[in-house]
Amino acid sequence: MTDRPAAAAAAPPPLSKPRRALPLAWIGILPFLAFVILFLALPTLNIVLGAFRTPDGSFTFRNIAGLFTPSILSSYWISIKISATSAFLGCLVGFLMAAAMVLWGLPKVIRGPLLTFSGVASNFAGVPLAFAFLATLGPLGLVTVWLRQEFGINLRALGFNILSFWGLTITYLFFQIPLMILIITPALDGLKREWREAAEVLGASSGQYWRMVALPILFPALLGTFALLFANSFGAIATAYALTGSSLNIVPIMLFAQIRGDVLGDPHLGYAMAFGMIVVTSIANTIYIVLRMRSEKWLK
């Protein structure tokens, strides 16, 4: 018969559970998480709550109802038209430039400078961009004066005004086209040579290959990039305000007028307008994310 106390004394003590340490990889991302919470999540939450509050803090739908006034609806419509037009033209021109660089035989030496310029230009906006276009295509801009003196072409007489719908749209193209190039280039790189060779072996022409093989594969990426470019221009204010002032009442400019404390300003109506912009851009970004995931599945 065994001695139970002696056996118990000889047994090793139970091991303590090791403490789970925070992986070092997470420590490196903590500043980014703090930045997102402080400057994105909390301000967005404050905007959403402010859109449903009165100045005394009570709950109301009056601010949301104010979005359906004719002036605000008109500003949303102008913003949507400018964003859609600049996104479409940015996608079209950017796709042609990227396709020429990746697929259509341009010298490889062009790729590096073009992508570098696109990375810089896609983030060039605000007052410097507005000044650049005023100095180039304004009433006394370099190109405007040159066309009038050398060729007798008067842009103002032809109806072009840099402080108008088309003027702002052309200005937005300066950063929309480079952004399109940066996004669509990896998708074009993903088109496999075997797909084109197989189409040619089966007797398909170049047009049939693009219509029946390449474009269907690239369509999710193209549509998703269009949604991203739409959201990119829909929320832009610095360039539009510096270029047109209050002559073109797009949503960001009207929002700025509501929250900066003018006599007729209503900060809580401004919160509601910002909430509407968040809804529009969220829909566009969601479309972009979903379609980009579908595109990546095809290109893997």
Radius of gyration of the chain (CA): 28
Contacts of 219 (CB under 8 A, 6+ apart): none
| pLDDT tier at 256, thresholds 50, 70, 90 | confident
The structure's pTM equals 0.81
- Tell me the range of 78-87, 148-157, 190-199 where mean pLDDT is highest: 78-87
Which pair of tokens denotes residue 263? Answer: 């006599």
Which pair of tokens denotes residue 113? Answer: 């400078």
All structural domains of the chain, each given as residue ranges with its CATH number in brackets, are: 69-299 (1.10.3720.10)
Higher pLDDT pick, 277 / 20: 277
CA atoms within a 13 Å half-sphere pointing along the CA-CB vector of 111 = 14
Cα dihedral value 188, 189, 193, 195, nearest 10: -50
Q: Would you state the pLDDT for residue 14? A: 57
Neighbouring C-beta atoms of residue 117, cutoff 10 Å:
13
**Residues 101-120 pLDDT 10s:** 988 878 888 888 999 999 99
Q: Would you state the pLDDT for residue 20? A: 60
Burial class (CB in 10 A: 0-12, 13-18, 19+), 264: exposed
